[in-house]
Amino acid sequence: MTEMLAFWAAALVAGILGLPISFAMLRRLPDAGAALAMPFGLVLAGYLYFIFRVVGLLPFGRGGYLLALVLLALISCAVAGRDRRFLSTLRRTGPALTVVAGVFTCGFFAYVAFRSYNAEISGTEQPMDFMYLNATLTSKDYPPKDPWMAGEKASYYYFGYLQAGVLTSVADVVPSTGYNLFLAYTFGAAAAAIASLGYAFARWTLGSRAQRWALAAGGLAVGMLLLVGSLSAIFEWSAAHGEYNRTLYETMGVEWMIPCRAGQNQDCYSGPLNPRTTAWYPTEFWFWWRGTRIIPNTITEFPFFSFLLGDMHPHVMSIPLVLLSLGLSAAVWRGRRMLRFRSHIREPAAGLALAVVFGGLAFENAWDILTFTGVLALAVLARNLRAAARGGDDTGGRGAATLAALAYLGPVLALAVVLYVPWYRDFSSQASGFEAYVGKGTRPPHAFMQFGPILLAGLMVVTWAFRRTPRGLILDAGMGTLWVPMLPFGLWLAMVEFQGDLSAAVDARSAGGWVTLLAYGLIVWLLTTAAVVLFLRRSAAAPVAAVCALGALLIFGAELFYIRDIFAGVTPRLNTVFKLTYQAWMLLSLGGAVAVVAALRQAWTRRAASGWLAAPVCVVVAAGLVYPLTAAANRTEGFQKDTALDGNAFLARTNPDEYALTRWVREHTDPGAVIIEASGRKWAANNDQKPQVIDGNVDYSDAARISQRTGRSTPIGWFFHEIQWRGDTAAVRNELERRQDLVDRVYTDPNPTVVLEALRQLGAHYVVLGELETGVSARYPATTMAPFAQFLDVAFQSGPYRVYELPAYRVVHTS
Amino acid sequence: MNPELTAVAPESERPEALFSISVSAIAWAVTTAGFLLLRLGTIWHTPVGGAELVHLSGAWQARIGVADDRFVPTLFQALTTLLLHISDSAIPARIVAFAATATIPAAVWFLRPRLGEAGALIALLLLAFDGPAISLGTSASAMGFDLAIAAWLFVAIGRKGLRPWTWAAIGFLVATAGPIPLVLALGAGGVALARREYPDRQAAAWGAGGAIVGNLAASARFGMGFDGGLRVPPFALFAASFDQMWSTANSLEITALYVAPVVAAGLAAAVLLGVRLRRRGAAEAHDLVLLAWAGVALLWLLVSGTAHSPAPVVALTLPLALLAGPALAEGVDAMVRADWRYARFLVPIALFAAAIALVFMLTWARNGQATDNGEKLLVTVLLLLALVALGAACWERRAVAALLAPALVIGVPLFVSAGMGVSFSSSGEPVPSPVSPVQARQLRDTALQLAHEHGGLIVVHERFAEEMTWPFRDSGDIVVASRVPGDASVVVWPKDLPRPDGYNAVDVSWNLLLEPDVPTDGFLAYLKWLSDRASLGRSEVPATVYVKASQ
């Protein structure tokens, strides 16, 4: 309880420190940026910590984190001091501050309560996330190390983990609790941020008199972003209770949810039938996982799933930062004066703050940088064009406005890169190209199940955007925006043709795929036209249509292209669809919520028939709530499981000796120490009693578990993840294999001299003999293990488990 | 009565004195003397312990040219290293620290215009009895100059017209000090930035220049070699205060044991000042700086509650004493003028009831528990009676100030006894702790003598690697190992480990480190300690000396 309150308080402190800066940058939002102060404060504190650790100004440990907050406090004091409107803004936003703090608090504690039923950091990629959190906390030098590759720096976008480290350290909680609490922070901060943006966009769209409708939009945005999920849950729920129509399921492409026919053993449910579920919700283990794998060979994750699963991945941690970037873009768009290079001279701090935030997007989740910097660019351009249209002595025409926008953006973007150079130096992107997707397209029912709620909500813009607009203007805009869907499609055609397999590509997409593509393209076109029409009408609702259009464009783009990465051979568009549709979910939740509320208000107050189209859309959106209801109940086993906050509590319960061993390593070894633990490969003695590998898969296993739980370095962790982070080259593979061999030699060679030589080569200080080395899940045959006690010191012992240490011997000069 | 006898001669008719001493001067002299005397003895009789043990070890390592994280270095630690070339004792460094600390009364004297004569005096009185500050201000820890620098920095911040180069010196001193002046610098910086009261460019440039030179000097380890990294001693020590063992008791425990009265008074004064400034609608920079300083220090104490360091406590009591001084002066005046109609009966009744209850509680404390239910009931009734009496006494607004009397009756003895405890019997106090006992040095002498007699290596177990640096200084080459090497003749081994094969024990009960227990196992344990400061148990780090059997 104390830890939870300390973490919550630390998050609020970050928000308070970010408030003056948030006010200065986001004053044009109705709450003056109060809701975005928390991610703003945290991102600045994280950046200060990172950069000052790199230059050696801040020390290692908790004190370093606190000093980063102190530096942020000084900056905030300076900003508040210079901002003549700070106190008046603070007074004006008093109620808003209370509301956003309340929304954050409710979100935070609600998620803590939920997560406490599944607190364990175990399974999927949670060990990897925990490893990076520990890496940022325990690295004596910065940029931080990669604990799964002793001696190497981390090559990943770890800014989110670094921010998690700030709150974990400041609140003085153990990392395994900090992991879960940071997820709760992300949930709460995302809720407050999207509520604020939804409210702001609705206020701009509906006018200041529609306060209640704007509040409803804020609330709906929270629901759409953080709760609504895949419609597949309805089919899951129905099938689990034996209520299904085979034809319907086959039409929707979810036939694998219903029992197999006689003789059928693929694409059908073959589990127990009597009963298939023992509760009102499907009790099948992790049924909700399939809700993100509906479209074959892709991942279509959405925020609720992320929080349900509990992987602290960059794309999850970045949600508050992405929303902050959207808020900044919105504030930029709302400004009146043209932005140009000179603006930086007048307000250098504003450009710097933008650079920190937008540069941080890449550092936090590299996928976000292009999309949301694009949003900023659009906002600057739109503002300048509007200023140019308004006219004035020095505004010039459209060309000048565009050039001014470029001149404004150039330094910001350059600075956004320069500020993060220490990270770029060690970062090796897994992206190796941009390619046209050739393969089966998404079937319409799958697309509907996954994106139906958000796309339809976004499409509601069309019900009110064109009202009272001259047809000519609509037609002109429509013709002018045709290129938006056509250009990517044309590019796709050209690329496929260039590759020489156009007809094969056309065939491969299949009829369903083409229908989906056409529907996506149409939606993109309609929404873009709506955005342009609203912009030309100088309507404050233009950003709503723009974010919806961009969201749809991302889904459309992921249907045509993919970023080439390590998965290119088997599931080429897996990551691209995953990451781009995740961004689309954020954009469409925001824009869609406002669009739906605006349509409903139109129907309610003006009796506009088109507005009533929002009613069925609301039903679809509400149907998306079946997923969180059933999945949450499934995940928590009807909220009957034991609760905890510590992500390692499960270990203390299931394997106390291993837990004691882990704690000992964390508390008694130097953070820079290298430990040897099972590489994850499974060995067995052959007929000649010689050890040989019988299973080489180490990823997604307990391999390097002590390292991930303590942040201590081990020579090798998850093999293929390291390849993802460092590139699939022969040199990398050779080095990884060398390390695996040396580590395994420590446990499989009975000769002490050979073992000591391996330890020397690996620079290791400790050898762990725990669950994976000697326990029931041992990866090594006990018969071939060296007699460690004879040549190493026993540093720790609990039950059958040991940590051995290289014997110490050093001459100390005392005079 | 004859009016002639009682009439006072007019001032002009009084005979002129050869010299006159004002009461104020006498008070200042006495308080300053007390401030110094309370610290003087500790230079010689306090064993090396706490942060001092860590930092002296670092300084010794630097003196012999060995790189060690414990060498931060602050300017004072660098001086300590220099002094260790002259003597291998901690005394010279302590004398230097004392000399710096001895200037604090002068700094407080300079603050009279802002604190008031009485306020400044009371502030100095509070500082004089500040136990952790007594220990830190006369120790050879890296923070030996910190209190003096912080006090003078506060004086400097409030003075206008300082020459620009003075800011260079200030920048240098703050950049090469520990974290205690940093707290003030941050508070003052925050206030200046928020109020847009920027220093003039020349002063800022000099200050920044001084700080940069200080950081460069620290990075070059004051001439002992640049090891590649940027060193910011205040930051490094601030961070180390969370991770290193500078005290057996944690920060909150030290606060509760030694400075609770001054913290309570200071916080109350801060709240009163805050309310007053808010009502007034305008604030002087001096008041805001003082509040910000106390605020930052309080935050440090709160976030480092479980850290084993006295530094945040000392950092807090300094501004709180300066806040509490004027407030207490005002409070005493208000107390005298308060409505004592009922209080004159009720306050003594309350104190009397509390005193009787205390007698019972002290008996329980000595016995370790309260067993008699009748006594428990009686004590409860007495304490309730005391509370009711106090409540009734301050029922009227004009009588509230009278409550200061019982507060002083309770607070002053607690605070004074804590300060005296550190000053006069610090070897058994939780501050400073853990200490390197005299025995540790004797153990080293014994080991050296045996090695001299028998030849061969002295081997110390790895577990003692940190603790042995100071007591084993100037002992030639020593092997630190986890296993006994074949060429070892004298072995210093943990008592709980088996006797090394082929070695005989020379003496089995040596201690390398002593840690008095912290009396925080409940109120009775605290009372017991208050009534008998020598009652604390001790933890030890026992070692055994072995010598090779064949010899």
Is A312 contained in some domain? no
- Domain identity same for A95 and A236: no
Cβ contacts (< 8 Å) between B315 and chain A: which residues? none
Using a cut of 0.90, tell me whether the model's pTM lies above it: yes
Residue A554 has a pLDDT of 97
DSSP H or E segment with residue B540: strand B538-548
Closest CA to A449 of A571, A296, A562: A296
Q: Do A67 and B189 touch (CB under 8 A)?
A: no
Whether chain A has a CB inside 8 Å of the CB on B522: the answer is: no
Residue A393 has a pLDDT of 54
- Domain identity same for A198 and A66: yes
Q: Do A811 and B242 touch (CB under 8 A)?
A: no
Cβ contacts (< 8 Å) between A803 and chain B: which residues? none
In the block, which residue shows the tokens 């459209």? A398
Is A162 contained in some domain? yes
Whether chain B has a CB inside 8 Å of the CB on A141: the answer is: no
pLDDT exceeds cutoff 50 at B5: no
Q: What is the ipTM of this complex?
A: 0.91
Task: Note if the bond before B432 is cis, omega within 30 degrees.
Answer: yes
Q: Do B477 and A813 touch (CB under 8 A)?
A: yes
DSSP letter at A258 equals S
Nearest to B239 among A60, A809, A812 (CB): A60
CA end-to-end span of chain A? 51
Is A470 contained in some domain? yes
Q: Do B239 and A61 touch (CB under 8 A)?
A: yes
Q: What is the mean pLDDT of chain B?
A: 90
Is A197 contained in some domain? yes
Which tokens is A373 given? Answer: 């910097």
Q: Do A810 and B479 touch (CB under 8 A)?
A: yes
In the block, which residue shows the tokens 């995953």? A578
pLDDT exceeds cutoff 80 at B20: no
Task: Note if the bond before A275 is cis, omega within 30 degrees.
Answer: yes
Nearest CA distance, B228 vs chain A (angstrom)? 10
pLDDT exceeds cutoff 80 at B70: yes
Cβ-contact A644, A119 below 8 angstroms: yes
Nearest CA distance, B333 vs chain A (angstrom)? 37
Which tokens is B193 given? Answer: 């930035």
Within 8 A by CB and 6+ apart from A479, the residues are none
- Domain identity same for A63 and A212: yes
- Domain identity same for A14 and A96: yes
Closest CA to A169 of B186, B303, B232, B295: B303
Q: Do B481 and A809 touch (CB under 8 A)?
A: yes
Instruction: Please tell me which residue of chain A has the smallest CA distance to B243.
Output: A61
Cβ-contact A23, A33 below 8 angstroms: yes
Of A260-269, B207-216, B248-257, the poorest mean pLDDT is in A260-269
Cβ contacts (< 8 Å) between A56 and chain B: which residues? 229-231
Nearest to B480 among A56, A805, A812 (CB): A812
Span B131-162, pLDDT tens digits: 999 999 999 999 999 999 999 999 999 888 88
Within 8 A by CB and 6+ apart from B215, the residues are B175, B176, B230, B231, B232
What is the block-wise mean pLDDT of chain A (815 residues), using blocks of 10 residues?
93 96 95 96 97 93 95 96 92 93 97 96 94 96 95 94 97 96 97 97 92 95 97 94 90 90 84 84 93 93 96 96 97 93 93 96 94 96 90 74 95 96 91 90 95 96 90 93 95 91 89 96 97 93 96 96 87 93 97 96 83 90 96 94 93 94 95 94 86 88 94 95 91 95 94 95 95 87 90 94 94 90
Taking the C-alpha atoms of residue B66 and residue B60, their distance in angstroms, rounded to an integer, is: 9
Residue A392 has a pLDDT of 65
Cβ-contact A33, A331 below 8 angstroms: yes
Cβ-contact A596, A462 below 8 angstroms: no
Cβ contacts (< 8 Å) between B481 and chain A: which residues? 807-810
Whether chain A has a CB inside 8 Å of the CB on B194: the answer is: yes
Q: Do B483 and A807 touch (CB under 8 A)?
A: yes
**pLDDT band, very low/low/confident/very high, at B538 (cuts 50, 70, 90):** confident
Q: Do A807 and B481 touch (CB under 8 A)?
A: yes
Q: List B residues 485-504 in contact with A (Cβ-Cβ < 8 A).
A: 485
- Domain identity same for A564 and A592: yes
Instruction: Count Cα neighbours of B282 within 13 Å in the Cβ-side half-sphere.
Output: 1
pLDDT exceeds cutoff 50 at B2: no
Is A523 contained in some domain? yes
Task: List Cα–Cα distances, B501 to A584, B321, B456, B479, in angstroms.
Answer: 72, 59, 17, 18
Span B481-529, pLDDT tens digits: 999 998 899 999 999 999 999 899 987 788 888 888 888 888 888 888 8
Q: Do B64 and A815 touch (CB under 8 A)?
A: yes
B324 residue type, one letter: A
Residue B1 has a pLDDT of 41
Give me the total of CB pairs closer than 8 Å, taking one residue from chain A and one from chain B: 110
**pLDDT band, very low/low/confident/very high, at B6 (cuts 50, 70, 90):** very low
Nearest CA distance, B442 vs chain A (angstrom)? 16
Is A642 contained in some domain? no
Q: A214, A229, A244: which is the final residue of a domain?
A: A229
Q: List A residues 774-793 in contact with B (Cβ-Cβ < 8 A).
A: 793
Q: Which residue spans within B467-521 are E strands per DSSP?
A: 477-481, 488-494, 503-516
Is A324 contained in some domain? no
- Domain identity same for A523 and A577: yes
In the block, which residue shows the tokens 């809720």? A191
- Domain identity same for A520 and A663: no
Domain count, chain A: 5
pLDDT exceeds cutoff 90 at B246: yes
Q: Find residue B514's DSSP bridge partners.
A: B435, B540
Q: Do B190 and A73 touch (CB under 8 A)?
A: yes
- Domain identity same for A523 and A627: yes
Task: List Cα–Cα distances, B429 to B48, B244, B253, in angstroms.
Answer: 13, 20, 13
Whether chain B has a CB inside 8 Å of the CB on A285: the answer is: no
Task: List Cα–Cα distances, B92 to B87, B96, B125, B351, in angstroms.
Answer: 8, 6, 27, 47
For chain A, give the number of residues: 815
Residue A676 has a pLDDT of 97
Contacts of B7-11 with C-beta under 8 Å, sequence gap 24+, read: none
Which domain range does residue A617 map to? Answer: 441-635
**pLDDT band, very low/low/confident/very high, at B9 (cuts 50, 70, 90):** low
Cβ contacts (< 8 Å) between A81 and chain B: which residues? 193-196
Whether chain B has a CB inside 8 Å of the CB on A172: the answer is: yes
* CA angle A118–A119–A120, rounded 5-degree value: 95
Cβ contacts (< 8 Å) between B477 and chain A: which residues? 811-814
* CA angle A375–A380–A383, rounded 5-degree value: 120
SS3 letters across B372-439:
CHHHHHHHHHHHHHHHHHHHHHCCCHHHHHHHHHHHHHHHHHHHHHHHHHHHHCHHHCCCCCCECCHH
A748 residue type, one letter: T
Nearest to A63 among B241, B474, B476 (CB): B241
Taking the C-alpha atoms of residue A128 and residue A158, their distance in angstroms, rounded to an integer, is: 11
Instruction: Please tell me which residue of chain B has the smallest CA distance to A9.
Output: B303
Q: Do B64 and A813 touch (CB under 8 A)?
A: yes
Of A223-227, A603-607, B119-123, B449-453, the poorest mean pLDDT is in A603-607
- Domain identity same for A391 and A452: no
Cβ contacts (< 8 Å) between B243 and chain A: which residues? 61-63
Q: Do B474 and A815 touch (CB under 8 A)?
A: yes
Task: List Cα–Cα distances, B97 to A240, B93, B140, B146, B339, in angstroms.
Answer: 77, 6, 7, 9, 47
Instruction: Please tell me which residue of chain B has the smallest CA distance to A790.
Output: B483
Q: Do A61 and B242 touch (CB under 8 A)?
A: yes
Q: Do A63 and B240 touch (CB under 8 A)?
A: yes
Within 8 A by CB and 6+ apart from A140, the residues are A60, A671, A672
* CA angle B312–B315–B319, rounded 5-degree value: 140
- Domain identity same for A285 and A264: yes
Q: A573, A601, A635: which is the final residue of a domain?
A: A635
Within 8 A by CB and 6+ apart from B2, the residues are none
Nearest to B235 among A59, A172, A814 (CB): A59
DSSP H or E segment with residue B6: helix B3-6
To test the contact with chain A by mutation, choose from B182, B183, B186, B193 the residue with the greatest count of A C-beta atoms within 10 A, namely B193
Cβ-contact A138, A710 below 8 angstroms: yes
Cβ contacts (< 8 Å) between B306 and chain A: which residues? 172
Task: List Cα–Cα distances, B214 to A456, B81, B168, B173, B232, in angstroms.
Answer: 63, 17, 10, 7, 9
Task: List Cα–Cα distances, A147 to A152, A257, A655, A706, A711, in angstroms.
Answer: 8, 41, 23, 10, 6
Cβ-contact A341, A291 below 8 angstroms: no
To test the contact with chain A by mutation, choose from B57, B300, B302, B303 the residue with the greatest count of A C-beta atoms within 10 A, namely B303
Cβ contacts (< 8 Å) between B463 and chain A: which residues? none
- Domain identity same for A699 and A756: yes
Cβ contacts (< 8 Å) between B239 and chain A: which residues? 58-64, 67
Cβ-contact B545, B447 below 8 angstroms: yes
Instruction: Please tell me which residue of chain A has the smallest CA distance to B241.
Output: A63
For chain B, give the number of residues: 551
Nearest to A55 among B189, B230, B476 (CB): B230
Average pLDDT over residues B306-312: 93
Q: Do A809 and B482 touch (CB under 8 A)?
A: yes
Q: A229, A255, A276: which is the final residue of a domain?
A: A229
Closest CA to A185 of A105, A65, A88: A105
Cβ contacts (< 8 Å) between A55 and chain B: which residues? 230
Taking the C-alpha atoms of residue A167 and residue A810, their distance in angstroms, rounded to an integer, is: 39
- Domain identity same for A593 and A670: no
Cβ contacts (< 8 Å) between B476 and chain A: which residues? 814-815
